[in-house]
Amino acid sequence: MSSWDELTARDRRVVLHPYAAPGTPGPLYAVSRTEGVHLHLDDGRALIDGMSSWWAAIHGYNHPALTAAMGRQLATMSHVMFGGLTHEPAVALCERLVALTPEPLTRVFLSDSGSVSVEVALKLALQYQHARGKPAKNKFLTPLGGYHGDTLGAMSVCDPVNGMHSLFRGVLAQQIFAPLPGPGYHAVWESSSIDEVESLLRWRAHEIAAVVIEPIVQNAGGLRFHHPEYLRRLRTLCDQHDVLLIFDEIATGFGRTGTLFGCEHADIAPDVMCVGKALTGGMLTLAATLITDAIADAIAAGEPGVFMHGPTYMGNPLACAAALANLELLFSYDHCARIAQIERQLWRELSPLAEHPGVEDVRVLGAIGVLELKERVDFERVVPALVARGVWLRPFGKLLYTMPPYIIASEELSAVTGAMAAVL
Protein backbone atom coordinates (compact mmCIF):
# COMPACT_ATOMS: atom_id res chain seq x y z
CA MET A 1 0.00 0.00 0.00
CA SER A 2 1.44 3.42 -0.92
CA SER A 3 1.55 6.10 1.77
CA TRP A 4 -1.20 7.88 -0.18
CA ASP A 5 -3.50 4.84 -0.12
CA GLU A 6 -2.69 4.32 3.52
CA LEU A 7 -3.57 7.91 4.45
CA THR A 8 -6.85 7.89 2.56
CA ALA A 9 -7.73 4.50 4.13
CA ARG A 10 -7.02 5.91 7.64
CA ASP A 11 -9.04 8.99 6.72
CA ARG A 12 -12.05 6.92 5.67
CA ARG A 13 -12.02 5.17 9.06
CA VAL A 14 -12.14 8.25 11.29
CA VAL A 15 -12.57 11.53 9.43
CA LEU A 16 -15.86 13.14 8.46
CA HIS A 17 -15.65 15.38 5.39
CA PRO A 18 -17.89 18.32 4.43
CA TYR A 19 -21.10 17.37 2.65
CA ALA A 20 -19.95 13.76 2.26
CA ALA A 21 -21.21 10.38 3.39
CA PRO A 22 -19.37 9.11 6.51
CA GLY A 23 -16.73 6.56 5.41
CA THR A 24 -17.20 7.19 1.69
CA PRO A 25 -16.36 10.81 1.04
CA GLY A 26 -16.12 10.28 -2.76
CA PRO A 27 -12.86 10.84 -4.61
CA LEU A 28 -10.25 11.76 -1.99
CA TYR A 29 -6.71 13.04 -2.60
CA ALA A 30 -3.92 13.42 -0.04
CA VAL A 31 -2.09 16.76 -0.20
CA SER A 32 1.45 16.84 1.15
CA ARG A 33 2.61 20.30 0.14
CA THR A 34 1.34 23.56 -1.35
CA GLU A 35 3.12 26.29 -3.27
CA GLY A 36 1.84 29.19 -5.38
CA VAL A 37 -1.23 27.96 -7.25
CA HIS A 38 -0.27 24.30 -6.81
CA LEU A 39 -1.51 21.52 -4.57
CA HIS A 40 1.16 18.80 -4.46
CA LEU A 41 -0.32 15.36 -3.89
CA ASP A 42 1.26 12.54 -1.88
CA ASP A 43 1.66 10.51 -5.07
CA GLY A 44 3.87 13.17 -6.66
CA ARG A 45 1.29 14.84 -8.90
CA ALA A 46 0.85 18.65 -8.84
CA LEU A 47 -2.59 20.18 -9.43
CA ILE A 48 -3.36 23.77 -10.43
CA ASP A 49 -5.91 24.92 -7.88
CA GLY A 50 -8.85 26.57 -9.66
CA MET A 51 -10.79 26.84 -6.39
CA SER A 52 -8.46 28.97 -4.21
CA SER A 53 -9.34 26.51 -1.44
CA TRP A 54 -13.00 27.46 -1.39
CA TRP A 55 -12.30 30.99 -2.61
CA ALA A 56 -9.98 31.97 0.25
CA ALA A 57 -6.38 31.58 -1.01
CA ILE A 58 -6.51 34.61 -3.32
CA HIS A 59 -2.72 34.93 -3.36
CA GLY A 60 -2.08 31.23 -3.72
CA TYR A 61 -0.37 29.09 -1.11
CA ASN A 62 2.60 29.81 1.16
CA HIS A 63 2.93 33.38 -0.05
CA PRO A 64 6.22 34.60 1.49
CA ALA A 65 4.70 37.92 2.63
CA LEU A 66 2.01 36.09 4.57
CA THR A 67 4.20 33.37 6.07
CA ALA A 68 6.76 36.01 7.14
CA ALA A 69 4.12 38.17 8.85
CA MET A 70 2.68 35.12 10.59
CA GLY A 71 6.15 33.97 11.67
CA ARG A 72 6.83 37.38 13.23
CA GLN A 73 3.49 37.31 15.03
CA LEU A 74 4.00 33.76 16.33
CA ALA A 75 7.38 34.71 17.74
CA THR A 76 5.80 37.59 19.68
CA MET A 77 2.50 36.48 21.10
CA SER A 78 0.17 33.51 20.91
CA HIS A 79 -3.58 33.70 21.46
CA VAL A 80 -4.93 35.76 24.33
CA MET A 81 -8.56 36.10 25.35
CA PHE A 82 -10.31 39.16 23.92
CA GLY A 83 -12.56 39.84 26.90
CA GLY A 84 -10.91 42.74 28.73
CA LEU A 85 -7.69 42.45 26.70
CA THR A 86 -6.74 43.89 23.33
CA HIS A 87 -3.72 43.90 21.03
CA GLU A 88 -2.21 45.70 18.07
CA PRO A 89 -3.02 43.12 15.34
CA ALA A 90 -6.76 43.12 16.18
CA VAL A 91 -7.05 46.90 16.52
CA ALA A 92 -5.05 47.53 13.34
CA LEU A 93 -7.17 45.02 11.43
CA CYS A 94 -10.46 46.53 12.61
CA GLU A 95 -9.20 50.00 11.67
CA ARG A 96 -8.19 48.70 8.24
CA LEU A 97 -11.57 47.04 7.66
CA VAL A 98 -13.41 50.23 8.63
CA ALA A 99 -11.22 52.20 6.21
CA LEU A 100 -11.81 49.75 3.34
CA THR A 101 -15.56 49.18 3.68
CA PRO A 102 -18.31 51.75 2.88
CA GLU A 103 -18.34 54.80 5.12
CA PRO A 104 -21.27 54.13 7.46
CA LEU A 105 -19.64 50.92 8.71
CA THR A 106 -17.58 51.93 11.71
CA ARG A 107 -17.46 49.07 14.25
CA VAL A 108 -16.13 45.55 13.86
CA PHE A 109 -16.84 42.26 15.63
CA LEU A 110 -14.21 39.60 14.88
CA SER A 111 -15.15 35.94 14.80
CA ASP A 112 -13.79 32.56 13.79
CA SER A 113 -15.65 31.69 10.60
CA GLY A 114 -18.04 33.03 8.00
CA SER A 115 -21.00 31.18 9.49
CA VAL A 116 -20.33 32.67 12.91
CA SER A 117 -20.02 36.17 11.45
CA VAL A 118 -23.49 35.66 9.94
CA GLU A 119 -24.84 34.48 13.32
CA VAL A 120 -23.34 37.65 14.79
CA ALA A 121 -24.97 39.79 12.09
CA LEU A 122 -28.39 38.23 12.77
CA LYS A 123 -28.02 38.64 16.54
CA LEU A 124 -26.86 42.24 16.20
CA ALA A 125 -29.91 43.01 14.06
CA LEU A 126 -32.23 41.36 16.60
CA GLN A 127 -30.64 43.16 19.55
CA TYR A 128 -30.83 46.45 17.64
CA GLN A 129 -34.57 46.06 17.03
CA HIS A 130 -35.13 44.94 20.61
CA ALA A 131 -33.19 47.91 21.96
CA ARG A 132 -35.41 50.25 19.89
CA GLY A 133 -38.52 48.78 21.50
CA LYS A 134 -39.39 46.72 18.41
CA PRO A 135 -38.97 43.12 19.60
CA ALA A 136 -41.64 41.91 17.14
CA LYS A 137 -39.18 42.65 14.34
CA ASN A 138 -37.50 39.29 14.82
CA LYS A 139 -37.55 37.64 11.40
CA PHE A 140 -35.29 37.93 8.38
CA LEU A 141 -36.31 38.43 4.77
CA THR A 142 -33.99 36.82 2.25
CA PRO A 143 -34.19 35.77 -1.39
CA LEU A 144 -34.29 32.13 -2.40
CA GLY A 145 -31.01 30.68 -3.65
CA GLY A 146 -28.81 32.14 -0.92
CA TYR A 147 -26.13 30.43 1.16
CA HIS A 148 -24.89 31.94 4.41
CA GLY A 149 -23.27 29.08 6.31
CA ASP A 150 -23.95 25.86 8.13
CA THR A 151 -24.78 26.92 11.68
CA LEU A 152 -28.47 26.92 12.56
CA GLY A 153 -29.12 30.67 12.40
CA ALA A 154 -27.20 31.03 9.14
CA MET A 155 -28.94 27.94 7.75
CA SER A 156 -32.33 29.48 8.45
CA VAL A 157 -31.58 32.16 5.82
CA CYS A 158 -30.11 29.70 3.29
CA ASP A 159 -32.21 28.46 0.39
CA PRO A 160 -34.82 26.15 1.99
CA VAL A 161 -34.41 23.41 -0.65
CA ASN A 162 -30.61 23.44 -1.02
CA GLY A 163 -30.36 23.83 2.76
CA MET A 164 -32.66 20.83 3.39
CA HIS A 165 -34.87 22.86 5.72
CA SER A 166 -37.37 20.00 5.81
CA LEU A 167 -34.77 17.85 7.59
CA PHE A 168 -34.31 20.47 10.32
CA ARG A 169 -37.96 21.45 10.70
CA GLY A 170 -38.86 22.47 14.22
CA VAL A 171 -35.32 23.60 14.98
CA LEU A 172 -34.58 26.15 12.28
CA ALA A 173 -36.11 29.59 12.75
CA GLN A 174 -38.83 30.28 10.18
CA GLN A 175 -37.77 33.16 7.96
CA ILE A 176 -39.46 34.98 5.08
CA PHE A 177 -38.33 34.11 1.55
CA ALA A 178 -38.55 36.27 -1.56
CA PRO A 179 -38.08 34.98 -5.13
CA LEU A 180 -34.59 34.57 -6.59
CA PRO A 181 -33.00 37.99 -7.12
CA GLY A 182 -33.23 38.94 -10.76
CA PRO A 183 -32.59 39.76 -13.47
CA GLY A 184 -29.01 38.68 -14.27
CA TYR A 185 -26.06 41.04 -13.91
CA HIS A 186 -25.77 41.70 -17.64
CA ALA A 187 -29.52 41.62 -18.39
CA VAL A 188 -31.80 44.62 -18.88
CA TRP A 189 -33.24 45.76 -15.55
CA GLU A 190 -36.92 44.91 -15.07
CA SER A 191 -38.53 46.80 -12.23
CA SER A 192 -41.04 43.98 -11.71
CA SER A 193 -38.18 41.81 -10.36
CA ILE A 194 -38.38 43.57 -7.01
CA ASP A 195 -42.20 43.68 -6.77
CA GLU A 196 -42.51 40.66 -4.50
CA VAL A 197 -39.83 41.99 -2.13
CA GLU A 198 -41.61 45.33 -2.05
CA SER A 199 -44.91 43.75 -1.19
CA LEU A 200 -43.37 41.53 1.52
CA LEU A 201 -41.76 44.59 3.08
CA ARG A 202 -44.92 46.67 2.79
CA TRP A 203 -47.07 44.08 4.59
CA ARG A 204 -44.61 42.42 6.92
CA ALA A 205 -41.98 45.03 7.88
CA HIS A 206 -43.37 45.06 11.43
CA GLU A 207 -41.98 41.52 11.88
CA ILE A 208 -38.75 41.92 9.85
CA ALA A 209 -35.47 42.86 11.54
CA ALA A 210 -33.35 42.83 8.39
CA VAL A 211 -32.99 41.73 4.79
CA VAL A 212 -30.06 39.34 4.28
CA ILE A 213 -28.41 38.91 0.89
CA GLU A 214 -25.12 38.06 -0.82
CA PRO A 215 -24.63 41.16 -2.96
CA ILE A 216 -24.23 40.67 -6.75
CA VAL A 217 -23.37 36.95 -6.60
CA GLN A 218 -25.26 34.16 -4.88
CA ASN A 219 -22.39 31.80 -4.36
CA ALA A 220 -22.75 28.28 -2.94
CA GLY A 221 -26.52 28.52 -3.54
CA GLY A 222 -26.06 28.45 -7.32
CA LEU A 223 -23.45 30.96 -8.56
CA ARG A 224 -26.07 33.35 -9.95
CA PHE A 225 -25.17 37.00 -10.66
CA HIS A 226 -27.91 39.57 -10.14
CA HIS A 227 -28.44 43.11 -11.36
CA PRO A 228 -26.92 46.02 -9.37
CA GLU A 229 -30.26 47.86 -9.62
CA TYR A 230 -31.84 45.08 -7.54
CA LEU A 231 -29.50 46.03 -4.69
CA ARG A 232 -30.15 49.75 -5.09
CA ARG A 233 -33.92 49.17 -4.90
CA LEU A 234 -33.43 46.90 -1.91
CA ARG A 235 -31.49 49.66 -0.13
CA THR A 236 -34.31 52.15 -0.76
CA LEU A 237 -37.01 49.70 0.32
CA CYS A 238 -35.17 48.82 3.56
CA ASP A 239 -34.90 52.51 4.42
CA GLN A 240 -38.56 53.13 3.60
CA HIS A 241 -39.72 50.24 5.77
CA ASP A 242 -37.32 50.65 8.71
CA VAL A 243 -35.56 47.35 8.08
CA LEU A 244 -31.78 46.78 8.27
CA LEU A 245 -29.85 45.60 5.23
CA ILE A 246 -27.25 42.87 5.84
CA PHE A 247 -24.73 42.14 3.08
CA ASP A 248 -22.96 38.81 3.32
CA GLU A 249 -19.71 39.60 1.48
CA ILE A 250 -17.96 36.47 2.75
CA ALA A 251 -17.51 35.14 -0.77
CA THR A 252 -17.72 38.38 -2.77
CA GLY A 253 -15.35 40.44 -0.60
CA PHE A 254 -11.74 41.36 -1.39
CA GLY A 255 -11.95 41.62 -5.15
CA ARG A 256 -13.57 38.38 -6.28
CA THR A 257 -16.30 40.06 -8.39
CA GLY A 258 -13.99 42.72 -9.86
CA THR A 259 -14.60 45.39 -7.21
CA LEU A 260 -13.26 45.30 -3.67
CA PHE A 261 -16.74 44.46 -2.34
CA GLY A 262 -19.84 43.28 -4.19
CA CYS A 263 -21.85 46.30 -2.97
CA GLU A 264 -19.59 48.60 -5.01
CA HIS A 265 -21.27 47.35 -8.20
CA ALA A 266 -24.40 49.13 -6.97
CA ASP A 267 -22.59 51.96 -5.17
CA ILE A 268 -24.56 51.47 -1.99
CA ALA A 269 -23.71 50.58 1.62
CA PRO A 270 -25.40 48.04 3.89
CA ASP A 271 -26.09 48.55 7.60
CA VAL A 272 -24.29 45.31 8.45
CA MET A 273 -21.57 43.56 6.44
CA CYS A 274 -19.97 40.13 6.92
CA VAL A 275 -16.52 39.34 5.52
CA GLY A 276 -14.41 36.19 5.81
CA LYS A 277 -12.86 33.64 3.45
CA ALA A 278 -10.26 35.73 1.50
CA LEU A 279 -9.70 38.01 4.51
CA THR A 280 -6.59 36.06 5.58
CA GLY A 281 -5.71 34.96 2.04
CA GLY A 282 -6.63 31.44 3.09
CA MET A 283 -3.98 31.23 5.81
CA LEU A 284 -6.27 30.93 8.84
CA THR A 285 -9.95 31.04 9.62
CA LEU A 286 -11.14 34.55 10.49
CA ALA A 287 -14.25 36.58 9.75
CA ALA A 288 -15.70 39.92 10.75
CA THR A 289 -19.09 41.60 11.06
CA LEU A 290 -19.17 45.35 10.54
CA ILE A 291 -21.97 47.64 11.74
CA THR A 292 -22.84 51.33 11.81
CA ASP A 293 -22.60 53.69 14.78
CA ALA A 294 -26.40 53.81 14.86
CA ILE A 295 -26.63 50.05 15.49
CA ALA A 296 -23.78 50.05 18.01
CA ASP A 297 -25.23 53.02 19.91
CA ALA A 298 -28.75 51.55 20.01
CA ILE A 299 -27.46 48.23 21.40
CA ALA A 300 -25.39 50.05 24.02
CA ALA A 301 -28.42 52.09 25.10
CA GLY A 302 -30.80 49.09 25.22
CA GLU A 303 -31.14 46.04 27.46
CA PRO A 304 -28.80 44.42 28.54
CA GLY A 305 -26.53 47.12 27.11
CA VAL A 306 -23.95 44.66 25.81
CA PHE A 307 -23.76 42.56 22.68
CA MET A 308 -24.50 38.94 23.63
CA HIS A 309 -21.68 37.10 21.89
CA GLY A 310 -18.05 36.25 22.70
CA PRO A 311 -16.07 33.43 21.01
CA THR A 312 -13.04 32.02 22.86
CA TYR A 313 -10.71 32.59 19.92
CA MET A 314 -12.06 36.01 19.05
CA GLY A 315 -9.42 38.34 17.61
CA ASN A 316 -6.79 35.60 17.35
CA PRO A 317 -3.54 37.58 16.84
CA LEU A 318 -2.06 35.15 14.32
CA ALA A 319 -5.18 35.28 12.15
CA CYS A 320 -5.29 39.10 12.44
CA ALA A 321 -1.61 39.33 11.44
CA ALA A 322 -2.29 37.11 8.43
CA ALA A 323 -5.27 39.29 7.44
CA LEU A 324 -3.27 42.51 7.77
CA ALA A 325 -0.45 41.10 5.63
CA ASN A 326 -2.95 39.80 3.08
CA LEU A 327 -4.67 43.18 2.77
CA GLU A 328 -1.31 44.91 2.42
CA LEU A 329 -0.46 42.45 -0.35
CA LEU A 330 -3.81 43.02 -2.07
CA PHE A 331 -3.11 46.75 -2.27
CA SER A 332 0.52 46.32 -3.27
CA TYR A 333 -0.57 45.72 -6.89
CA ASP A 334 -3.49 46.82 -9.04
CA HIS A 335 -5.76 43.92 -8.05
CA CYS A 336 -8.75 45.37 -9.96
CA ALA A 337 -6.74 45.39 -13.20
CA ARG A 338 -5.48 41.88 -12.46
CA ILE A 339 -9.01 40.56 -11.83
CA ALA A 340 -10.27 42.33 -14.98
CA GLN A 341 -7.56 40.47 -16.90
CA ILE A 342 -8.72 37.14 -15.42
CA GLU A 343 -12.32 38.06 -16.28
CA ARG A 344 -11.43 38.76 -19.93
CA GLN A 345 -9.57 35.46 -20.22
CA LEU A 346 -12.41 33.52 -18.61
CA TRP A 347 -14.88 35.09 -21.09
CA ARG A 348 -12.61 34.33 -24.02
CA GLU A 349 -12.05 30.72 -23.07
CA LEU A 350 -15.42 29.76 -21.55
CA SER A 351 -17.94 31.62 -23.72
CA PRO A 352 -17.43 29.35 -26.80
CA LEU A 353 -18.61 26.46 -24.58
CA ALA A 354 -22.12 27.98 -24.62
CA GLU A 355 -22.50 26.12 -27.94
CA HIS A 356 -21.92 22.74 -26.28
CA PRO A 357 -25.15 20.69 -26.11
CA GLY A 358 -24.56 19.87 -22.43
CA VAL A 359 -24.19 23.53 -21.39
CA GLU A 360 -27.18 25.56 -20.19
CA ASP A 361 -25.36 28.83 -19.48
CA VAL A 362 -21.90 30.36 -19.26
CA ARG A 363 -21.41 33.11 -16.69
CA VAL A 364 -18.34 35.17 -15.87
CA LEU A 365 -17.91 38.01 -13.38
CA GLY A 366 -14.54 39.14 -12.01
CA ALA A 367 -12.50 36.07 -11.15
CA ILE A 368 -15.51 33.74 -11.28
CA GLY A 369 -16.12 31.52 -14.31
CA VAL A 370 -19.18 29.26 -14.33
CA LEU A 371 -20.48 26.58 -16.68
CA GLU A 372 -24.04 25.71 -15.73
CA LEU A 373 -24.75 22.31 -17.25
CA LYS A 374 -28.09 20.84 -18.24
CA GLU A 375 -27.60 17.90 -15.87
CA ARG A 376 -25.98 17.37 -12.52
CA VAL A 377 -22.23 16.96 -12.68
CA ASP A 378 -21.24 13.33 -12.17
CA PHE A 379 -18.86 14.17 -9.36
CA GLU A 380 -17.31 10.68 -9.08
CA ARG A 381 -16.25 10.77 -12.75
CA VAL A 382 -15.58 14.45 -13.31
CA VAL A 383 -13.26 15.14 -10.36
CA PRO A 384 -10.82 12.29 -11.24
CA ALA A 385 -10.94 13.38 -14.89
CA LEU A 386 -9.98 16.94 -13.89
CA VAL A 387 -7.23 15.63 -11.61
CA ALA A 388 -5.90 13.51 -14.48
CA ARG A 389 -5.55 16.82 -16.37
CA GLY A 390 -3.63 18.38 -13.47
CA VAL A 391 -6.47 20.64 -12.29
CA TRP A 392 -8.30 20.89 -8.99
CA LEU A 393 -11.96 21.93 -9.13
CA ARG A 394 -14.90 20.94 -6.98
CA PRO A 395 -18.14 21.13 -8.96
CA PHE A 396 -21.53 21.05 -7.26
CA GLY A 397 -25.04 20.46 -8.53
CA LYS A 398 -25.08 21.40 -12.22
CA LEU A 399 -22.17 23.79 -11.81
CA LEU A 400 -18.64 23.33 -13.07
CA TYR A 401 -16.81 26.50 -12.09
CA THR A 402 -13.53 28.14 -11.20
CA MET A 403 -12.60 30.87 -8.73
CA PRO A 404 -8.83 30.91 -9.25
CA PRO A 405 -6.20 32.63 -7.11
CA TYR A 406 -5.50 36.16 -8.41
CA ILE A 407 -1.84 35.21 -8.93
CA ILE A 408 -2.67 32.51 -11.48
CA ALA A 409 -0.63 32.82 -14.69
CA SER A 410 -2.45 33.04 -18.00
CA GLU A 411 -1.27 29.59 -19.16
CA GLU A 412 -2.31 28.08 -15.82
CA LEU A 413 -5.78 29.59 -16.18
CA SER A 414 -5.95 28.19 -19.71
CA ALA A 415 -5.13 24.77 -18.24
CA VAL A 416 -8.10 25.17 -15.86
CA THR A 417 -10.58 26.27 -18.57
CA GLY A 418 -9.14 23.65 -20.92
CA ALA A 419 -9.81 20.92 -18.35
CA MET A 420 -13.36 22.28 -17.86
CA ALA A 421 -13.94 22.03 -21.61
CA ALA A 422 -12.35 18.58 -21.80
CA VAL A 423 -14.53 17.02 -19.09
CA LEU A 424 -17.71 18.30 -20.73
Q: Please list the active-site residues.
A: 19, 147, 248, 277
Residue number with CB closer to ligand PLP (287 or 362): 287
Residue number with CB closer to ligand PLP (248 or 343): 248
* Interface pattern 395-414 for ligand PLP (x via CB under 6 A): --------------------
- The residue with its CB nearest to ligand PLP is 114
Binding of ligand PLP by 276 (CB under 6 A): yes
Indicate which single residue of 49, 159, 248, 343 sits in contact with ligand PLP (rule: CB under 6 A): 248
The distance of closest approach from Cβ of residue 222 to ligand PLP in the complex, given in angstroms and rounded to an integer, is 11
Indicate which single residue of 113, 127, 257, 289 sits in contact with ligand PLP (rule: CB under 6 A): 113
Binding of ligand PLP by 251 (CB under 6 A): yes
Binding of ligand PLP by 226 (CB under 6 A): no
Binding of ligand PLP by 255 (CB under 6 A): no
Q: Return the HEC string of the chain.
A: CCHHHHHHHHHHHHCCCCCCECCECCCCCCEEEEEECEEEECCCCEEEECCHHHHCCCCCECCHHHHHHHHHHHHHCCCCCCCCCCCHHHHHHHHHHHHHCCCCEEEEEEECCHHHHHHHHHHHHHHHHHHCCCCCCCEEEEECCCCCCCCHHHHHCCCCCCCCHHHHCCCCCCCEEECCCCCECCCCCCHHHHHHHHHHHHHHHHHEEEEEECCCEECCCCCEEECHHHHHHHHHHHHHCCCEEEEECCCCCCCCCCCCCHHHHCCCCCCEEEECHHHHCCCCCCEEEEEEHHHHHHHHHCCCCCCCCCCCCCCCHHHHHHHHHHHHHHCCCCHHHHHHHHHHHHHHHHHHHHHCCCEEEEEEECCEEEEEECCCCCHHHHHHHHHHCCEECCCECCEEEECCCCCCCHHHHHHHHHHHHHHC
The distance of closest approach from Cβ of residue 274 to ligand PLP in the complex, given in angstroms and rounded to an integer, is 7
Binding of ligand PLP by 220 (CB under 6 A): yes
Binding of ligand PLP by 350 (CB under 6 A): no
Residue number with CB closer to ligand PLP (121 or 382): 121
Binding of ligand PLP by 349 (CB under 6 A): no
Residue number with CB closer to ligand PLP (49 or 214): 214
Residue number with CB closer to ligand PLP (145 or 228): 145
Binding of ligand PLP by 142 (CB under 6 A): no
Q: Which parts of this chain interact with ligand PLP (CB under 6 A)?
A: 113-115, 118, 147-149, 214, 219-220, 248, 250-251, 276
